[in-house]
A and B are shown apart, each in its own frame.
Chain A
Amino acid sequence: MASSSSSGLTFKLHPLVILNISDHHTRVKAQNQHLSSASASSAAANGGDAATAAAALPPLPRVFGCVIGVQRGRTVEIFNSFELLYDPHSHTLDRCFLEKKQELYKKVFPNYYILGWYSTGTDAQESDMQIHRALMDINESPVYVVLNPSINHSQKDLPVTIYESELHVIDGIPQLIFVRANYTIETVEAERISVDHVAHLKPSDGGSAATQLAAHLTSIHSAIKMLNSRIKIVHQHLLAMQRGEIPCDNSLLRQVSSLLRRLPAMESEKFQDEFLTEFNDTLLMTYLAMLTNCSSTMSELVDKFNVTYDRHSRRGGRTAFI
């Protein structure tokens, strides 16, 4: 059902959405777990067997919600999301609830439109198409974001997939099916800092300037390490291609060559000028700060000197402690 999308839209996802969905899921799971453990413990107290109490973990519940954001031309940027009520019997989302929530969010974020919906689970299912169709009157081509909440430590990729719906002709009948779409993660500087902050639990209050500098350098260092490893992988791949071990992929070669051709951008005259101006400005400011620091220390020293060698005191000044 999920082949690759051909609509040409680029999707950008913000980390806030991912955390939103994960929080929603954790909440519902925690509530259900406590409800089931409470009922299981009461069942055990009433004489039920220990086996049912042990195996009482309910299957991971699915949560549903709506994603909102901005669509500019061919770029769809998903900024935020909120929860929705799901009716498991009719397989539909509560419409008036959605509208009420949408009104509230419109007041605070007037630019964001409903771009689609999300749910947790492993893959897009048939029943989801109903919900998708219901949303199509708000947005002609809604997106469907799926988050896989099972924690699998061996996977390297984000367990988030974005599906679009496309009209395909299958067996002569035009049907809507879900097709997978590619997306990138987009962050604003502030978002990146807070995500970084929470991800690595850096000390938030002061610490000394040294620990903050260390933290900053550590994050830069790991980013550079990551860059290094990625370059190595591409390099190995190209070497293998050269030796003929893997079939030559021309599109990949084109991308690599365009990337390499961009590199000498830093050697141009104009860039060096701008860069050095920027550099000198920063150095000047640091120098200024140091100078002011020095003058303040100096004035403190003068104060202390004046206090100890006060000329107007009874001892007549210039009295040194022996």
Chain B
Amino acid sequence: EFRRFSLERSKPGKFEEFYGLLQHVHKIPNVDVLVGYTDIHGDLLPINNDDNYHKAVSTANPLLRIFIQRKEDADYSAFGTDTMTRKKNVLSNVLRADNHKKKPHIVISMPQDFRPVSSIIDVDILPETHRRVRLYKYGTDKPLGFYIRDGSSVRVTPHGLEKVPGIFISRLVPGGLAQSTGLLAVNDEVLEVNGIEVSGKSLDQVTDMMIANSRNLIITVRPANQRNNVVRNSRTSGSSGQSTESSAPGSAANLLGGLLHGEEESDDEDIIIEGGGEPQHIPRAAPSSDSIESLSHIELLHEPAHNGFLLSGDMSSGHSAGSASTECDLPEAGRKSLEEDGTVITL
């Protein structure tokens, strides 16, 4: 729902008055809302006191785009810096499972409101020609929507160039998850499935592995189109640079392993129906003396479905173009609002 109204730039007044005005304009007098605006860089910044209110008004050029959002639905992580600039090289963002634990003092989002759909991960540890894509099937109704086939690719070996069998993406289903992310394309060569190399495995084996991992599928591909590859050093300008630097290169594989392990504990919570009762998720048994138990239990402390967001390059830019014409974004659309946390952006 959009409203357009005018303010006098020289006399902006107090934040409280502005807040009241907004409630009045939207006819939501008793609803607590969060107010934000887009600055000249396109970043979404909060308005919650006189200072930033004045700053906002002063930057209006001449239009000030203001987003309001019902407080209980609000995503605090939406407010950050550098959003738009980072968005351009969002491909360099690295999802880290430990991101929230590391920076708990920065309230950057209310992730439970959002559902990740896909992400690019481990950019720092992969060769630039490879891309590791994570598809979150859990909770979405969209089909994964792709097909794989056998094929052959050329490898450099000690005996020169050699043709070796490989697995390739053969088709994307229109409207499917794989297509909508824009991260996978026909003729991309599949190199790994959830950290396991596919070389030497048959098409049926790889199919089974992918389906078995379908709720949290991480596939490493060599894109057929190598022009959109990440330029490695540009990442350091991103805010997530710090978090990646904290992980020593040697532990990279381990991180993926940990990631997988942590995820897998919750990716398929079985359901139990006790004698005619309501279906419930099966809880984990209390950690026993068994070493696997205690270790994996720690991984469980955070729900992976809630710890990060995704973005696919073209989708997010499409949406931001759409939101550019809006001045206010109403609570109902909260889920669709352009938000971000420290590492990734959500649609």
Answer yes or no: do A and B interact.
Answer: no
